Structure 1
Amino acid sequence: MRRTELLDIANGWFKSQQWKPFKFQRDTWNAFLQGKNGLLNAPTGSGKTYALWFPIVLDYIKRNPEYKTKHKKGLKAIWITPLRALSKEIELSALRITEDLGTQMTVGIRTGDTSQKERAAQKRTMPDLLITTPESLMLLLASKGYDKTFKDCSAIVIDEWHELLGTKRGVQVELALSRLKTVAPQMRIWGISATIGNLEVARQVLLGPSSETCENSVLIRANIKKKITVKSIIPKEMETFPWRGHLGLRLLDEVVPIINNSKTTLLFTNTRSQCEIWFQKILEKYPEFAGELAMHHGSINKETRLWVEQAIRNESLKAVVCTSSLDLGVDFAPVETIIQIGGPKGIARFLQRAGRSGHRPGKESVIYFLPTHAVELIEASALQTAVKEMVVEDRMPYLNSYDVLVQYLNTLAVSDGFLPDEILPEIQQTFCYQTLTKDQWHWLLNFITLGAQSLQVYDEYKKVEVLEDGRFKINNRSVAMRHRLQIGTIVSDTNLMVKYQKGGYIGMIEEYFVSKLERGDVFTFAGRNLEFIRIKEMQVHVRNSSKKTSKVPAWMGGRLTLSSQMSKILREEMYKANADFSRQPPEIRALKHIFDQQRLESIVPNENQFLIESFKTKEGHHHIFYPFEGRFVHEAMGSLLSYRISLLDPISFSIAFNDYGFELLSDKPVDIQQVIDNDLFTTEYLLSDLQKSLNSTEMARRKFRDIAVISGLVFTGYPKKVIKMKHLQSSSQLIFDVFRDYEPDNILFQQAFTETFEHQLEEGRLRIALERIAKQEIVWKQCQKPTPLSFPIITDRLREKMSSEKLADRIRKMTAILMKN
């Protein structure tokens, strides 16, 4: 069957649905049927799933002209999704095509939620089209005879590639693709990505560095203009001295009319804790929403999440309070409105969430921005600008993730084993390992066979044997089982199952939160007040409670930081406060009284100025710096500057920081002008000063825990016998100390420091920020009291020490004193 006939089949199907295919869909069909690999860039809700399922099925029809009567079983295509929650949606799209076109193709899902019975059935006969996750794909590569499973696979699609890019899961995918290209040479590789700033790099990471000049790879852009309307919820009254958290829930009454005027509304929060609090507070104040309001986040059990997703589709819910668990790909046509609670910290995340509403080609997306403190209105204005100018962040890929490579080599050794000379060229063709040297390769081979140099006396680290034919293989069944249990790159605190004492699964909660609870304590989780009874066999036993409580679980990793693009636009919005207020966006105009007060005490910096404020309180001498670069950069810069100041005059500081600036607090005064004159912001000696200023060894030690888990140096435990995080931490710290003292050139040990500086402290961004500040006029203002801009930073430090009630009381008193003066 010729390509034109195949395309007629697709066009006919679209016509039967009373749809018309977009140009990007037709371009993708053509490129795929011509045998090309590629990256498709298309916005949420534009029909990108059909852009790739169709050519996969059409290619099968082309290869099997008698497809309606004869069917050859076996895996023909794989669809990788980063979220298990998306699997059902993708399966429905595939089934619609395969059934309507009369093929006998089967569609299956294989994720962590797939039952053992279903997995066993798949082992006997793989579905034609398989939907899976990066981790489950790696588990398939850990199966004996995997080459027979994949040999006839004609396509692999990596969905939401922008989410995987810049993570170790993305590296996992790169390695899997490097192997599958050899096993199934006719296989086409396609990625689907929402808009990111560096699409060309995204293509290179997906298809390999050589794809940039390869005629066989394409980048297809949808070029669909999606109308996004951003509306800020501007409070009628705001304190002149704002602090984080004081505004959010006070605007609850502004949110309810928006919910009532929409068919369905999603309220996005940045953390699961915030999600729990908002759900509770809405129901407390507006009990009429009972039954029409739900909650969705990653720690709630699967059945509840699926029920919520289906209820949104059925339009039986008025609103859902959610987190990033609903950020991606799920198709919710009925959703009319999105409310973003607090700054999303990134433009791409904001656009992704906006795209959840009007989730149909050509439909307008409406998103409301609700600030949780006054200064976040500047973020709201910055987001409006970003949407207008279509500015989106880059995603930076990982390089030389040796821990993931060690895990991958063990995966191959668990299945059929591997020959190093065959595998090395495949690995070197990936983006992540394109600079891997022969010396590093031999080190890695020695590591998996002999253990680290300093651990050679311990047999447990000698996992892989070298057979007579030179094949590297794991033959020990116990080692193989432990490896399969630990495949993956997502390392977090141990999750414990929350269950009612009499049975009934509620969700997952992190061990570190539960460790603080005593019997009888009441906490809010999954929209219920639960009384803690005990922990038994990795399960948290609870009962319902009628007591009110302010305890809400906090999940690690809940704090986001401003992206570099967001920081830049935020600074530009800030500078607008110095221009004619009548011409400014409503968000900036609403902050006029705050900027006026700021000018009385200090200045509002313009684009050529960098502001430092100093003032004295009972707590000591405060020095506030305003780079507007995000909390990670501020943590590093605060430590760096405090170290450099202490070189001139022995002094110690406590450091507080938020997304806008940081505070150095000392018990004695500092002549800031003197330290500025001593090249305070120079980028010279940056790395060595950073290492000395921060406890970089301690930070690397924490980072090493993840590396040790991923590389298999420490074992996380068996199902229902998971090793506690504190024990994992102590085991990995012990190995870290051994490497530091006896094997400092160990590649995994060195990786911990590299990742600390590149990913945690964002050393590259810090360097650029220092270069920018060095070119600006540094304005040092000696103030009589805290200024409106400094207030959120000071109160963030107090937050760490006080309960929310005491903090609110303290801040009311502080504000009253400041306003009197």
Structure 2
Amino acid sequence: MQNKCELDLPFSTWFKKKGWEPYDYQLELIKRPAQFSHDVLIAPTGGGKTLAGFLPSLIDLLKSPYPELHTIYISPLKALAEDVARNLTIPIEEMNLRINVDVRTGDTSNHRKRAQMKTPPQILLTTPESFALLLSYPEAKTLMSFINTVIIDEIHAIINSKRGDQLSLCLARLQKFSPSARRIGLSATVSDTDHISKWIAPADQQKLVRTITATPGPPSEISIVKAKRPPPWSGHSGQYALPELMEEIKKNKTTLIFVNTRAQAEIIFQSLWELNDECLPIGLHHGSLSVSQRTKIENAMAKGDLKAIIATSSLDLGVDWSSVQLVVQIGAPKGISRLIQRVGRSNHVLSASSRAILIPTNLFEVIECQAAIEAIIEGDIDDISMNPGAIDVLAQHLLLMACSQDFQFNSMHQEVSSSFPYRNLDQDEFKELLNYASNGGYVLQSYEQWRKIDQKKPGIYGITSKSISRKIRMNVGTIVEAETLRVKKKRGEYVGTVEEQFIQSLSPGDTFILGGKVWSFVRIKDLSAEVTSAEGKDPKVPIYAGGKLPLNSSLARRVRKIISDPVSWNKLPNSCREWLELQKKAAHLPKNNELLVETFPRAGKWYMVTYSFAGRNANQTLGLLLTKQMEFIGLAPLGFVVNDYALTCWGLRPIKKPEVLFNQDALYDGVDPWLGDSSLLKRTFRQIAIVSGLIQRRFPTKNKTGKQITFNSDIIYDTLRKYEPNHILLKATRNEALRGLADLSRIEQLLELNGSNIRHIQYDRTTPLAVPLILEVGKEPVYGGHAEELLLQSLAYELFDEAKVVNKLKKNETI
């Protein structure tokens, strides 16, 4: 619904020249009733949501211009900040407004950052990390004392993460500098605004948040690709549908192609170029490319010069490119909100339907894609889960604030606890954390390197030296990725980054893909990988850790529901429907109220397949715990594999009574010994140690290698575990491992709902539904896509023939 224009000049004239009228929610943000101090705006993509957030600031700066920093805009992505800056400059220039806008991210040059400190823009666009770094300078108080508005874009993508904890703490510090600053949160995909309303406001202003919800735009047009070849049983390449994708690229002005991993982006880009007989301009964008390469692609897209671009999550939030007519998602989205955001990049105006095609990469993903489409049609958006504020993030924040100025214990505790994630932080825990930040804790306090904060006088804390401040600022951030090396041409031009572990697997002359080009590895020099341009038929694809996204709970429930309901299969492609029909005929379908467990022999081993629908992380943990139990009772386990939907364990002896393995008490008894002995806890500790400042990766003269960091971290972990088992970082490590990587809560939920209703059926061979998992057993990665599909296809036919004649040994046995 639109409203008669109530804007003053020159804004009303500008809207009329564009042929637009402001939407109700844009005008609502301008009005700002006295009883509200902060706002949450929920509006569909393409509806002028970001402009709505800026309009109050533009109007205020026109009426009362002053040369101070007036508005801070915070984006979850560097690319989004740059894109918004470009789009915001257009109305400012067309209305001849004398308003300065600038961007400050990790890609901004140091020279430009220094200029911003001396002469700040009136509107600054930044990211949570750069905002935290800005607050760490002594000039921060002067710089931010006149802040009028903080705009947090795509707020749903930030608040339920460590970046959200970091940003919440930064807003608490800003509140101290500028108590009357208004906070505006923007989002297109939120089902429950209660969490956002609580998060965005200071503790004493929870009731002063206004929620504005816009009328939804027209429904999106989303479909599953209709390819000549059926999707494979297993794998993640999507190669089978690339000919159809190429035809879509030719038909549309610009096609934005999303994939879930950087490695997949490189593979798809290379494969599309092999099909690109018309030499259409196609780009590639992900976080491991150089700044210049990413900027070049972003500028080309903004001008409409590209026919297609393959991207990861580096472009899936808020980016506004008018030339994009179609979005393609390769691989299942793993979350409904994520898919809505990506689909919304096409036809980015409120009056037009967004168009998207989904390309599932295997049969299970076909069902997940259909489940996601149905969820969007029904308006079922992912819930936002809010965890307590992370301890390592708070430790980093205290170090940064100490770099800025000395602080008083009670005042800082009050400031921190005014942020929503840390609202329940008591003084004892805060004191324990501050002691750690001061000297590393009881065991480490005698070592000078961990003395970063001093107690200057009773209750007053400050940084120990300027050199410590510099090191702390060099290690800001809450996202810990694997150690990388810069890739440079022999003449010195920067290409991008690859993970250190991948480079160490190469020999001189080996070729690999980066940025859509083939490079030949020469040597490692000065912590950089030196390369030359090359041509290679079988280049390797760099492996990037942390790329796989786990299936969220709401989408998992929908996948299970579709599988259990044959009536819903008529919406599925023929190949997927035939697969499920064969399972129904020859075996048993997983039901909503039961945990289906299949056992069968194959090639001299015994397999147990559990259809949990709990997500990859939870299944990984469940697999580890189950094999521990199998070993304990003498079933001689040999291994396990997982996907988002199920897991299979195998061993030398038949599993006749799986209810013994799934006994909750026995499983939970195995959690602590497993965690203590597993690499999971050490890996989690390493990440927490880096974020909290215990271990620093970057130094003024050089950076530590991944091996050095791992070695140092493991030594500290073993020492603390032996001599200070209650160290605050060890407690944080265990909690984070259980909640995050281990996803133990989903296992608990699974067993509570279905643990008493285990349906165990023993068969004489592999069942149809188990084929995708059996294909994963012992599979070695084959890079390049085509070879992987051929390898899997051959084994799939063999297993499928088996599945057609499967027989039950124990029919309908319920435990």
* Alpha-carbon distance between aligned partners in 2 of 1:546 and 1:99, rounded to the nearest angstrom: 46
Work out whether residues 612 and 625 of structure 1, in 8 Å CA contact, stay in contact via their aligned partners in 2. Answer: yes
Work out whether residues 149 and 183 of structure 2, in 8 Å CA contact, stay in contact via their aligned partners in 1. Answer: yes
> Over residues 406-429 of structure 1, what are the superposed CA-to-partner deviations in whole Å (9 max), with x where a residue is unaligned?
111111111221111211111111
Deviates more, 1:751-760 or 1:298-307: 298-307
Matched, 1:518 2:507: yes
* Alpha-carbon distance between aligned partners in 2 of 1:322 and 1:604, rounded to the nearest angstrom: 36
TM-superposed CA distance for 1:620, in Å, is 0.9
CA pair 720-317 structure 1, distance change in 2 beyond 3 A: farther
Deviates more, 1:598-607 or 1:746-755: 598-607
Gapped regions of structure 2 (runs ≥ 5) = 806-815
| Equivalent residue, structure 2, for 1:627 | 612
SS in 1 for 2:324: coil
* Alpha-carbon distance between aligned partners in 2 of 1:589 and 1:606, rounded to the nearest angstrom: 22
AA aligned to 2:255 is: T
CA pair 445-607 structure 1, distance change in 2 beyond 3 A: closer
CA pair 797-416 structure 1, distance change in 2 beyond 3 A: same
Work out whether residues 217 and 350 of structure 2, in 8 Å CA contact, stay in contact via their aligned partners in 1. Answer: no
* Alpha-carbon distance between aligned partners in 1 of 2:34 and 2:607, rounded to the nearest angstrom: 65
> Over residues 445-467 of structure 1, what are the superposed CA-to-partner deviations in whole Å (9 max), with x where a residue is unaligned?
22223331011211111111222
> Over residues 665-707 of structure 1, what are the superposed CA-to-partner deviations in whole Å (9 max), with x where a residue is unaligned?
01111212xx42x4x5454576443333556653111101111
> Over residues 26-85 of structure 1, what are the superposed CA-to-partner deviations in whole Å (9 max), with x where a residue is unaligned?
1122227876212212222211111111101223344x2xx4xxxx31111111112111
- Number of residues paired by the alignment? 797
AA aligned to 2:132 is: M
AA aligned to 2:264 is: Q
Matched, 1:368 2:343: no
Work out whether residues 347 and 353 of structure 2, in 8 Å CA contact, stay in contact via their aligned partners in 1. Answer: yes
| Equivalent residue, structure 2, for 1:342 | 331
| Equivalent residue, structure 2, for 1:30 | 31
Match of 2:483 among 486, 491, 494: 494
The alignment's TM-score, normalised by the length of structure 1, stands at 0.92
Work out whether residues 68 and 122 of structure 2, in 8 Å CA contact, stay in contact via their aligned partners in 1. Answer: yes
SS in 1 for 2:684: helix
Match of 1:392 among 371, 381, 388: 381
Deviates more, 1:516-525 or 1:113-122: 113-122
Aligned runs of 1:69-218 on 2, under 5 Å?
72-208=66-202, 211-212=205-206, 214=207, 216-218=208-210
Match of 1:614 among 588, 596, 599: 599
TM-superposed CA distance for 1:125, in Å, is 1.6
* Alpha-carbon distance between aligned partners in 2 of 1:235 and 1:415, rounded to the nearest angstrom: 58
Work out whether residues 562 and 569 of structure 2, in 8 Å CA contact, stay in contact via their aligned partners in 1. Answer: no
Work out whether residues 682 and 771 of structure 1, in 8 Å CA contact, stay in contact via their aligned partners in 2. Answer: no
Q: Identity rate of aligned residues, in percent? A: 31
* Alpha-carbon distance between aligned partners in 2 of 1:706 and 1:572, rounded to the nearest angstrom: 37
SS in 1 for 2:640: strand
Deviates more, 1:415-424 or 1:53-62: 53-62
* Alpha-carbon distance between aligned partners in 1 of 2:439 and 2:759, rounded to the nearest angstrom: 59
AA aligned to 1:176 is: C
Work out whether residues 246 and 275 of structure 2, in 8 Å CA contact, stay in contact via their aligned partners in 1. Answer: no
Aligned runs of 1:366-515 on 2, under 5 Å?
366-468=355-457, 470-515=459-504
AA aligned to 2:794 is: R
SS in 2 for 1:409: helix
Match of 1:228 among 220, 233, 251: 220
* Alpha-carbon distance between aligned partners in 1 of 2:682 and 2:593, rounded to the nearest angstrom: 39
The alignment's TM-score, normalised by the length of structure 2, stands at 0.93
> Over residues 435-491 of structure 1, what are the superposed CA-to-partner deviations in whole Å (9 max), with x where a residue is unaligned?
111211221222223331011211111111222474311141221111111111121
Match of 2:522 among 533, 548, 553: 533
Matched, 1:312 2:313: no
| Equivalent residue, structure 1, for 2:809 | none
Match of 1:797 among 777, 794, 797: 777
Matched, 1:593 2:582: no
> Over residues 341-365 of structure 1, what are the superposed CA-to-partner deviations in whole Å (9 max), with x where a residue is unaligned?
1111111111111111111111111
TM-superposed CA distance for 1:607, in Å, is 3.1
* Alpha-carbon distance between aligned partners in 1 of 2:730 and 2:218, rounded to the nearest angstrom: 46
| Equivalent residue, structure 1, for 2:754 | 773
> Over residues 493-536 of structure 1, what are the superposed CA-to-partner deviations in whole Å (9 max), with x where a residue is unaligned?
12221111123221111111111111010111111111100111
CA pair 51-817 structure 1, distance change in 2 beyond 3 A: closer
* Alpha-carbon distance between aligned partners in 2 of 1:514 and 1:13, rounded to the nearest angstrom: 53
SS in 1 for 2:496: strand
Work out whether residues 35 and 188 of structure 1, in 8 Å CA contact, stay in contact via their aligned partners in 2. Answer: no
CA pair 651-29 structure 1, distance change in 2 beyond 3 A: same
| Equivalent residue, structure 2, for 1:744 | 725
| Equivalent residue, structure 1, for 2:811 | none
Gapped regions of structure 1 (runs ≥ 5) = none
TM-superposed CA distance for 1:17, in Å, is 2.2
Match of 2:685 among 704, 725, 742: 704
* Alpha-carbon distance between aligned partners in 2 of 1:544 and 1:250, rounded to the nearest angstrom: 29
SS in 1 for 2:623: helix
SS in 2 for 1:360: coil
AA aligned to 1:159 is: D
Match of 1:266 among 256, 261, 270: 256
AA aligned to 2:70 is: K
CA pair 697-203 structure 1, distance change in 2 beyond 3 A: farther
| Equivalent residue, structure 2, for 1:281 | 271
* Alpha-carbon distance between aligned partners in 1 of 2:677 and 2:38, rounded to the nearest angstrom: 42
Work out whether residues 563 and 580 of structure 2, in 8 Å CA contact, stay in contact via their aligned partners in 1. Answer: no
SS in 1 for 2:740: helix
* Alpha-carbon distance between aligned partners in 1 of 2:720 and 2:696, rounded to the nearest angstrom: 18
* Alpha-carbon distance between aligned partners in 2 of 1:57 and 1:366, rounded to the nearest angstrom: 33
CA pair 116-813 structure 1, distance change in 2 beyond 3 A: closer
Work out whether residues 381 and 585 of structure 1, in 8 Å CA contact, stay in contact via their aligned partners in 2. Answer: no
Work out whether residues 234 and 792 of structure 2, in 8 Å CA contact, stay in contact via their aligned partners in 1. Answer: no
TM-superposed CA distance for 1:802, in Å, is 6.7
Work out whether residues 529 and 548 of structure 1, in 8 Å CA contact, stay in contact via their aligned partners in 2. Answer: no
CA pair 773-619 structure 1, distance change in 2 beyond 3 A: same
AA aligned to 2:650 is: L
TM-superposed CA distance for 1:799, in Å, is 2.1
